[in-house]
Amino acid sequence: MKRQNLIPFILLLICTISGEVRAQTVNTDSQSGTNPPARTVSQVLEIWISNTEKQVVSLADAMPEDKYSFAPTNGEFKGVRTLAEQVKHLAAFNYLAANFILGRTPTLDQKEETGPDSVKTKAEVMEYLKGSFALLHQAVAAIDNKNLVEALPGASKGRVALALETRLGLAIDTMAHSFDHYGQLVEYLRMNGIVPPASR
């Protein structure tokens, strides 16, 4: 997926929530007659990370262990990742982004977006995936209006440069990246006769 398509979305999001601006809804609570409380940037991002986690983890868990080595071969699929490699790649990027958001140095396997070689079985891959989302939750909890668009040089690895060198850009990219691979994983499941959980 070309992340350049995210630039207009990121700019809109920045304009909407950066600075000290907090959106207030015009709808009032029907019982109390008061406005619901404003949400912080980290609370909004937390909602989206939680939704992404729910969808991705349930999808990865739906594939049986004996199919974790599956990769399509019928068509132009030479050299594509196996299902396990797809999930590890997705998780490694989550770790990478979360570490940058938290001001930490990602490991080499995170920078290469491959995950550790030692992670092989379904149980290990699932644990690695869940751990990546746990760190993302911690990372978005640390985002506030003061550090939202603070420059994080080197975080983009040359992709959408300036937008991704911010905590907001990285948090958004984890969700876009996750759903890019979610779509691929859906096809992997369907090729093996498995209906994805969200479609059941």
Contact predicate 122/68, CB 8 Å: yes
Where does the chain show beta strands of DSSP type E?
none
* Distance (Å, whole) CA 52 – CA 114: 20
* Distance (Å, whole) CA 113 – CA 90: 7
- Write down the residue that tokens 């746990």 correspond to: 134
Query: Average pLDDT per run of 10 along the chain, which is 200 residues long?
Result: 52 45 42 78 96 98 97 90 97 96 94 95 98 98 94 66 78 95 96 95
* Token pair for 156: 């983009």
Q: Write the single-letter amino acid at 101.
A: I
Domain boundaries, the chain: 40-199
* Distance (Å, whole) CA 18 – CA 2: 25
Q: Given this model, what pLDDT does residue 163 score?
A: 59
Q: Given this model, what pLDDT does residue 7 score?
A: 52
Q: Given this model, what pLDDT does residue 11 score?
A: 45
* Distance (Å, whole) CA 1 – CA 200: 26
Where does 66-193 show beta strands of DSSP type E?
none
Specify whether domain 40-199 bears CATH 3.90.1150.10.
no
Contact predicate 177/93, CB 8 Å: yes
Q: Given this model, what pLDDT does residue 198 score?
A: 93
Q: Given this model, what pLDDT does residue 159 score?
A: 47
Nearest to 41 by CA among 19, 17, 20: 17
Contact predicate 166/148, CB 8 Å: yes
Q: Which residues of 116-131 are buried (b: 16+ CB within 10 A; e: fewer)?
A: eeebeebebbbebbbe
* Distance (Å, whole) CA 179 – CA 82: 17
